[in-house]
Amino acid sequence: MFYQKRLMISAALIASLLLSSLQTMAQRASTGDWNSLQRMTADTKVSVKLKTGKTVEGRFKGVSDSSLTLLAKTGAVDLKRDEIASVYEFKKKSATKSTLIGLGLGAGAGAALGAAAAATDNGDFDKLDQAVLGGVIVIGAVAGTVTGYFLGRRSNRVLIYESK
């Protein structure tokens, strides 16, 4: 009974962590809004994909109702709004948050697996069961931490605008 309760609490914790990250992604601003470009600060590094398939990278200088101005390697570039397919902002992103989420999810999954395995055991090896449970939690935490770290570092481009 005790192990089933622990398993249910672990499962609820994992589900709440997953749902909170889904909710965060759902709260992103609409990417079809040209006015979102006006909130960008000058000298932000951006990548603009044109409808022709060409990509222009540079530093953001300004935006008007009809064009976007960048400072590229070759100089200032004015891009018309109707030529632009999408605008991405390059962000230096820390992997700390995803690493900690991975740590929590891995430890929770390890605890749930260990508790489920211990709940089915009817032997008199309580100390051994506790050691195995602790080991499974540590292995899950390490695996989750490593996975979270690499997933957190993976993406550094954020979609700011996409033509509809």
pLDDT (tens, 9 = 90+) of the chain, 164 residues, equals: 555 666 566 665 665 655 554 444 443 445 668 888 888 888 889 999 999 999 999 999 999 999 999 999 989 999 999 999 999 998 777 778 888 888 888 888 888 877 776 666 666 556 666 777 778 888 888 888 888 888 777 657 889 999 87
Q: Which domain holds residue 116?
A: 2-27+94-154
152 with 85: CB under 8 angstroms?
no
State whether 38 and 65 are in the same domain. yes
Give the whole-angstrom CA distance, residue 46 versus residue 87.
7
Written as six digits, the tokens of 47 are 């990548």
> Would 76 be classed as within a structural domain?
yes
Q: What is the pLDDT of residue 92?
A: 72
Distance (Å, whole) CA 82 – CA 29: 21
Is the residue at 160 inside a domain? Answer: no
Q: pTM of the prediction?
A: 0.50
